Structure 1
Amino acid sequence: MKKLLLMSTLICAPAVVAHNDNDSTVSFNNEQCNVEFKNDVRIKPDELEIFTANKQTMQFNTNGNLTINGESVALNHSQQKALTQYSDSLRTQLPEVANIALEGVKIAGVALQEVANAFNIDGLDNISSLMDDIKLEVQNTFYQQDTFVMGQQSFNQFGENFEQQFEQQIETAVESAVMQSMGSILVALGSELLGSGGDMQAFEQRMENMGTQIEEKVEQHADALEKRANALCENFANIAKQEEQLVVQVPELKGYQLFSFKQN
């Protein structure tokens, strides 16, 4: 039973995509990632907009026009090319953040299903519905009226919403499902005990093996997701370097960099 409770707890862990309890924000930074968000960005089909905390804005559209705080900035061909390459990099890499968040929710579903199959747990409809709500929350956080939005403010919003709306609900739904299926769980545990010939030590080993198998299946997905997050971090570092070079070419962009390197 202790193993079951542990596995029930593990269900909740993957869905919290790098949740930071210290400041209730969501971040894809880790100890190996030396970049962090400095400003926020909006990516529309025909325009890139970066805005600062004090509402200063930089806009660059697909026609190669740059506007800073409503005033046009003349660009030569080389500057337009550099800005276009920068814009393309953001359009390619930033949506991967949302993809990783959605994959984290999917991993939670995998863990949920594995535990349910192992212990014949019923009453998971509420949890499945809750997972769908979390997916929708991720979508609504990063995609707003055909615009991709990301930055520290977006992360703050997502972290606060998740903590307030979903974290406790997940725990409650898991506990409810376990209680509803207690009979099935006891039957499953009894079958495992009989399969061990009444030997408690052998029974504990069988349960441990079962838990390990479930964890291994979930960890395969989690490891793959971690590799994607690490790769994304490297890409962000490359974009941060690209921004440094861009500011040299277009000095008007100073202060509008999306990323900054962490200070050691």
Structure 2
Amino acid sequence: MKTFAAATLILASSAMANDCNINLQGEMNLEQGILTLKTDNRTLQLDGRTAYLDSQMLHLNNEQADLLNNYHKEVTLLAPKVADIALEAVGLASEGISRAFGGLLGDDDALVLDLGTEMADLRHQLQQEFYAEDGSIRFSSHHFDEDGIVVNSFENEFEQKIEQAVERSMGRILIAVGKEMLFSGGDMQAFEARMENFGEQIEHEMEAKAAVLERKAEHLCYDLTKIDQLETRINQSIPELEELDMVRVSRSVHSM
């Protein structure tokens, strides 16, 4: 089922490049411009140059306030990039699946049209994860794991919709396969070659688009590294935050 593999591989393209290792400690949330960092026993809230540690305002000098303001700004700039990559990944996966079904059943087939609507709804749900009703960006550390951006609940729902689509259309798929074999004169090898070429065409097109996402994900790793480095400077400058260590980023070393 190479045509389906060509589409589903796009979900993996939302992950970070293989040499970028991310480890987030505690919880990080951005909502309505307020950045909240929670560990096991401390809560830090940042709103630009103002900071509250366990609900108590921190008294900061200009240098310290600048550091926290830069930290807040970097996370705020990071959030829409995360949303962009996740939404593009789901969009490309949907495109690949639609191409696969459309090539077999026809673009105007009821199943293909229904599946397109379901995929659009799924993308809208994901968009609501990242954007509030007023259009402001929101971000949570649960959008990440060790491998990068994840949308596990959406990936599971995506897979379920594909399985249900196949079950609903098995009869039509078999008929379409029969027609394809007739076009090949009943020659099974010719039919397999035809389907193989179709799958490779979709895979080639999807991989080219996925490469763009991989480059965006690589730059996201760079952005997270900047946040990690800022935390080190905050540790050294603000005694109350000497244990702040939410973001850890390292690079794997590949042998040549």
For residues 137 and 156 of structure 2, the distance between their equivalents in structure 1, rounded to whole angstroms, comes to 25
* Residue in structure 2 matched with residue 190 of structure 1 by the alignment: 182
2:203 is equivalent to residue 215 of structure 1: yes
2:44 is equivalent to residue 58 of structure 1: yes
2:58 is equivalent to residue 73 of structure 1: yes
For the 8 Å contact 2:181–2:191, the answer to whether it is kept is no
For structure 1, which segment, 159-168 or 238-247, has the greater mean C-alpha deviation from structure 2 after superposition? 159-168
2:35 is equivalent to residue 48 of structure 1: yes
The letter of the residue matching 1:128 is G
Alignment of 1:99-248 (within 5 A): 99-121=84-106, 122=109, 123-143=111-131, 146=136, 148-152=138-142, 154-155=143-144, 161-162=153-154, 165-191=157-183, 193-194=184-185, 201-248=189-236
User: What is the TM-score when the length of structure 1 is the normalising length?
Assistant: 0.77
For residues 33 and 160 of structure 1, the distance between their equivalents in structure 2, rounded to whole angstroms, comes to 19
For residues 227 and 188 of structure 1, the distance between their equivalents in structure 2, rounded to whole angstroms, comes to 38
Deviation at 1:217, TM superposition (A): 0.6
For the 8 Å contact 2:74–2:223, the answer to whether it is kept is no
Deviation at 1:147, TM superposition (A): 5.7
Deviation at 1:203, TM superposition (A): 4.5
For the 8 Å contact 1:111–1:218, the answer to whether it is kept is yes
User: What is the TM-score when the length of structure 2 is the normalising length?
Assistant: 0.79
2:10 is equivalent to residue 14 of structure 1: yes
Return closer, same or farther for 1:141/1:66 CA change in 2, 3 Å cut-off: same
CA-to-aligned-CA distance 1:72-100 (integer Å, 9 cap, x gap): 11111111112112211111113212211
For the 8 Å contact 2:3–2:198, the answer to whether it is kept is no
Q: Count matched residues.
A: 243
Runs of 5+ unmatched residues, structure 1: 19-27
Deviation at 1:162, TM superposition (A): 3.3
The letter of the residue matching 1:81 is D
Deviation at 1:160, TM superposition (A): 5.7
For residues 62 and 78 of structure 2, the distance between their equivalents in structure 1, rounded to whole angstroms, comes to 24
For the 8 Å contact 1:33–1:234, the answer to whether it is kept is no
Return closer, same or farther for 1:204/1:181 CA change in 2, 3 Å cut-off: closer
The percent of aligned pairs where both chains have the same amino acid is 26
For residues 182 and 107 of structure 1, the distance between their equivalents in structure 2, rounded to whole angstroms, comes to 26
